[in-house]
Amino acid sequence: MTSNYLRWTLWCALGFALWINYQTWVRDYGPQLTASSAPALSHASGGEGSLGSAIPQASSGAARSQSAPALPSGEASVPTSTGVGAQPSATAAPAPTVDVRTDVLDVRLSLRGGTIVSAKLLKYPKVKGQPQPVELESEHSPDTLYILQTGLSGPGSEARPTQFATFTSAAHAYTLAPGASVLDVPLTWTDGHGVTLTKTFIFRRGRYQIDLEQTVDNRSAKPWEAAPYGQIVRYVAPTHGSFFSFGNIAERDSFKGPAIYDGTRYRTLKITSEDNHHLTLDATGGWLAAPQHDFVSAVIPPHDTPYRYTLNVRGNEFALATAGPLRTVDPGSTAHFDFRLFVGPTLEAALAATAPHFDLVANYGRLTFLAKPLFWLLEKAHSLLGNWGLAIIAVTFLLKLLLYPLSETSYRSMAKMKALAPRIKALQETYKGEKEKASRAMMELYKREKVNPVAGCLPMIVQIPIFFAYYYVLLGAVEMRQAPFYGWIHDLSSHDPYFILPAIMAVAMFFQYKLNPAPADPTQAKVMMVMPFAMSAMFALFPAGLVLYYLTNTILGLVQQWSINVRMEAAAKRKKT
């Protein structure tokens, strides 16, 4: 039995690397739903039991649109018809748009339905150092379709302000004025018979939250029924590549697709799973979202009203919708149908301020219970040091300090093991060919010298969840996106472009190996000597921030082990004299 810390490190890191590679391989080369095998989806009406939202055929030049979702009526029952009408023609000319610009957003609203067809995040360049910002919503081509639609639908043949309705605007462009904190962008629709809808998008300085106020003014002679809905339509391009291919592993491994919070639980929905192709559920206090690495678009209904959530999938496209109950607007009265929208980065503070539990979209996986406090520590350290790399080093030092008693015990045990190595080798020679007797003799020696041969594994057992937590923080925290360190490290969330950190890590691990007791088996000793370089190769494509953590932890462990070895050797010499 060996207490070689590095051996355990190798196996755990190898298992982690293989796990990530397997997940990537399944996503890239596993079963994929193709458009030809997808079920036919309804286009205009949602019959009893139908989800009622459909993914459209691709159009040339014009944006593809969705039919409105099935809507709860009364006790959240699905009506026999959504009343949306036919799909717009594939050859229809693109609708006019209204440009809206704030200090953080550049948004285009289509006058066909008031759909958000483009949303550029001005503070987040797509590629560091280049002017082109990240664009979430987009209708540039079928393969980049990503739109956020809202509207009102209802029973009967009367016209409704759905995503197909034509709106008007008093201006073609709106800009948040210097010193102003709020920008209102009103769009207007009328049915020609006395019913008017004013659809007002409310933007705020420094905010990615967009409040949507839909006010119906019924000046007709009869009651008017409508139900609000919102939906995200998106094409998710298939990705290819594995762990061992170059690129941003964090971005590749992040979930991109539909997600729902049902009031009690947050769940991501894989569009490759047939169970999700026609999903429907009712929830109060929920919301829907389309998260991706570092960014998200979301529709958040009023938290005190039951809404129906539906997901339709065809091929690589999905339509995730939420619809509220049918309401009646009496003649001469007004009614409000409001939503809250979000288009922006997954900044935890911004998410938490937008809606209850909305910060769950900054998903840290199953280790959220560790990743959340870890990120809190990193954020506090960053506020003091002003650099995320320094924050990683500082928090790693704090964690090492916290685990010092455990590490001290472990390293002392390994130092004793190193001191016992000649005697262990002598026992192996004495009982050569008799493994059982050799093992029994070694265990007696360990017991007599009060050495625990597995104590060296304890730091590794503790370090594994911390390692994973660091990985998911770097994966899910947009605050670290494109965050520089020093020198050649310009982005801690991407791999070291020159692989210098992994090389330094290999050197540090080699010196740590030399401080540990050498394995008695020559073959195993050779494997352990090569291991630091194998680990360096495995870490080459990990985010630089993760390598920085592991390098810092290794150097601190190296210093601690060296210090213990020196102290124990000095104590042994004093004992002899």
Q: Domains of the chain by range and CATH?
A: 39-362 (2.70.98.90), 372-572 (no CATH)
523 burial type by CB count under 10 A (0-12 exposed, 13-18 middle, 19+ buried): exposed
Per DSSP bridges, beta strands 97-101 and 173-175 are parallel
d(CA 167, CA 188): 5
C-alpha 191/C-alpha 303 separation (Å) is 30
Q: Which of 294, 181, 183, 309 is nearest to 248 (CA)?
A: 294
Whether pLDDT at 354 is above 90 = yes
Residue 3: is its pLDDT beyond 50? Answer: no
154 vs 6, which has greater pLDDT? Answer: 154
DSSP at 390: H
pLDDT category, 528, cuts 50, 70, 90? Answer: confident
Other CB atoms within 10 Å distance of the CB of residue 405 = 9
Q: Tokens 């506020």 map to which residue?
A: 383
Q: Answer with the residue of higher pLDDT: 106 or 406.
A: 106
pLDDT beyond 90 at 430: no
* Per-range mean pLDDT, top range of 24-28, 171-175, 397-401, 467-471: 171-175
- Strand, helix or coil at 287? strand
Please give the residue that has the higher pLDDT: either 91 or 487.
487
pLDDT of residue 521: 59
pLDDT one-digit tens code per residue, 239-254 = 654 444 434 445 545 6
At residue 13, the pLDDT reads 52
Q: What is residue 244's predicted lDDT score, i.e. its pLDDT?
A: 43
Query: Distance between CA 310 and CA 438 in Å, rounded?
Result: 66
Predicted confidence (pLDDT) per residue in 150-206, tens digit: 999 998 878 999 999 999 999 999 999 999 999 999 999 999 999 999 999 999 999
- The larger pLDDT score, comparing residue 183 to residue 272, is at 183
Question: How much of the chain exceeds pLDDT 70, in percent?
Answer: 75
Question: Comparing 170 with 512, which gets the higher pLDDT?
Answer: 170
| pLDDT averaged over every residue in the chain | 79
Among candidate residues 46, 47, 40, 93, the one with its CA nearest the CA of residue 67 = 46
Tokens at 267, concatenated: 């769940």
Query: Counting Cβ atoms within 10 Å, is residue 543 exposed (0-12), middle (13-18) or buried (19+)?
Result: buried
Token representation of residue 201: 């998008």
Rounded mean pLDDT of 404-420?
A: 69
The mean pLDDT value for 416-435 works out to 75
Q: What is the 3 state secondary structure string of 96-135?
A: CEEEEECCCEEEEEECECCCEEEEEEEEEECCCCCCCEEE
pLDDT at 267 over 80: yes
Residue 2 has pLDDT above 60, yes or no: no
At 293 the pLDDT is 84
72 within 8 A of 324, measured Cβ to Cβ: yes
Q: What is the pTM of this model?
A: 0.75
Task: Between 368 and 462, name the one with better pLDDT.
Answer: 368
pLDDT tens digits along 12-43:
555 555 555 444 444 444 443 333 333 333 33
- As a whole number of angstroms, the distance between CA 76 and CA 310 comes to 13
Beta carbons within 10 angstroms of residue 246's beta carbon: 9
User: In the prediction, which pLDDT does 450 show?
Assistant: 72
Residue type at 100? V
Q: Are residues 500 and 576 in contact, defined by beta-carbon separation less than 8 angstroms?
A: no
